[in-house]
Every structure is written in C-alpha cells, then in structure tokens.
Structure 1
C-alpha cells in the first residue's frame, strides 16, 4: 500500500503540472490572439490610408506631401513586419505550450496506468493469500475429519 500512496502523491503532482501547462497554453493562445488582432488592426489602417490616398492620386500634390505619405506608409509597413514577427513568436510559444501540455498529459496517463496495474497486482496477491488460507483451513478440516474416523 505504501507504493500506492507514493504513486498517488506523484499523480497529484502530475495533475497540478498538467493543469499549470493547460493554463500556460491558454495564456499563450490569448496573447497570440491579441497580437493577431493588433496585426489585423495595423494592416487595416494601412489599407484605409492607402485607399484614401489612392482617391487623391489624380490631384496635384506637393512633392513634400508625397514624400511624407510614402515615409508614413513605409513606417506602417515596418510596423506590420514587426507585429508579424510578434505573432510568429506567439505562435511558437503556443506550440511549445501545446507540447508541454501533451507531455504532462502523457505522464499523468502513464502514472494512472501504473497505479491501476499495481492495484490489480495487489488484488491478485490478496486473492492468492485468501485462497491459500482457504486451502489450509480445508486441509486442516480434512485431516481432523480423517483422524476422528
């Protein structure tokens, strides 16, 4: 029974570790979604800005204004690139968290299988002891009955 108690403690620790891995995954997914939403917002703003300037393309613009527009659009493009990198980083974190959760779940499942196996072994040993005691009692009764005759 002492071995089962130790395994029960190990299972409890594995459950806590699995739950923590699940929480980390959920946090990573939430961060990834936030980063993705921010990327979508920057890209949308860049499209809107470009569309507004596209309407004015026929209008005569001062070179300084066009220069600033292109510079601004370049900065927006740079921001999109940076945010895409952030989204990629979060995707990697999500995948790492998924793998950690999978490993924690596998560890927990293997510990539970081990506990089940040990319980079955203990039950079989108990049944063998009970059977041995029953056989010994029957043999004693048989000998006692044989000596009375």
Structure 2
C-alpha cells in the first residue's frame, strides 16, 4: 500500500506540473499574439504612411522632406524587422511550451496507468485472499460436518 501512496504522490506532482505547463503555454501564446499584433500595427502604420506620401508625391517636395521621409520609413522598416524576430522568438517559446506540456501529459498518463495497474493487482490479491479464506472456512465447515456424522 505504501508503494501505491508513493505513486499517488507522484501522480499529484505530475498533475501540478502538467497544469503549470498548460499555464506556461497559455502565457506564451498570449505573448506571441501580442507580438504579432504589434508587428501588424507597425506594418499598418508603414502602409498608411506610404499611402499618405503617395498622395502627396506629385506635390513639390523639398529634398530635406524627402530625406526625412526616407529615413523614417527606413527606421520603421527596421523596427518591423526587429519585431519579426521577436515574433519568431515567441514562436520558439510556444513550441517549447507545447513540447513541455506534451511531456508532462505523457508522464501523467504513464503514472496513471501504473497506478491503475497497481490498484488492479491489489484488488486481485485481495479477491484471491478473500477466496482463500472463504475456501478455508468452507473446508473447515465441511470437515466439522463430516466429523459430526
């Protein structure tokens, strides 16, 4: 029975680890979604800025204004590139969190199977012991009844 209680402690620990892994995955997914939203905002802003610039492209522009616009768009493109890297990093974290969750679920499932098997073995041993006791009592009753006759 001590072995079974040790296994039950291990199952409870595995459940907590699985729950923690699930929470970590949810957090990683939320962070990834936030990073993607930020990247989308940067890309939308770049498109809007280019659209506004395109409307004014036929206007007479000073070289300084064009230079600043080109510089700004370059910086905006650089920021979008950095954010793309951040999104990729988050994707890696999500994949690692998924793998950790999968391993935790597999460990919990295998421990649960061991516990089920152990319980089945204990129940079988108890049933056999009870059957043996019943057989012994029946045998004693039979012998006693034979001796009385």
TM-score scaled by length of structure 2: 0.96
The corresponding residue for 2:54 is: 54
Q: Which moved more, 1:74-83 or 1:139-148?
A: 139-148
Q: Work out whether 1:88 is the aligned partner of 2:88.
A: yes
Partner SS, residue 119 of structure 1: helix
Partner SS, residue 61 of structure 1: coil
- TM-aligned CA deviation for residue 148 of structure 1: 2.2
CA distance in 2, matches of 1:5, 1:14: 14
The corresponding residue for 1:71 is: 71
Partner SS, residue 60 of structure 1: coil
Q: Work out whether 1:6 is the aligned partner of 2:6.
A: yes
Q: Please show how residues 136-147 of structure 1 align to structure 2 within 5 Å.
A: 136-147=136-147
CA distance in 1, matches of 2:91, 2:49: 28
CA distance in 1, matches of 2:22, 2:147: 70
- TM-aligned CA deviation for residue 76 of structure 1: 0.6
Q: Which moved more, 1:78-87 or 1:54-63?
A: 54-63
Partner SS, residue 132 of structure 2: helix
Q: Which moved more, 1:14-23 or 1:62-71?
A: 62-71
Partner SS, residue 60 of structure 2: coil
* Alignment deviations for residues 52-103 of structure 1 (CA, whole Å, 9 cap, x no partner): 0001111121222111111111111111100011011001101110111111
Partner SS, residue 71 of structure 1: helix
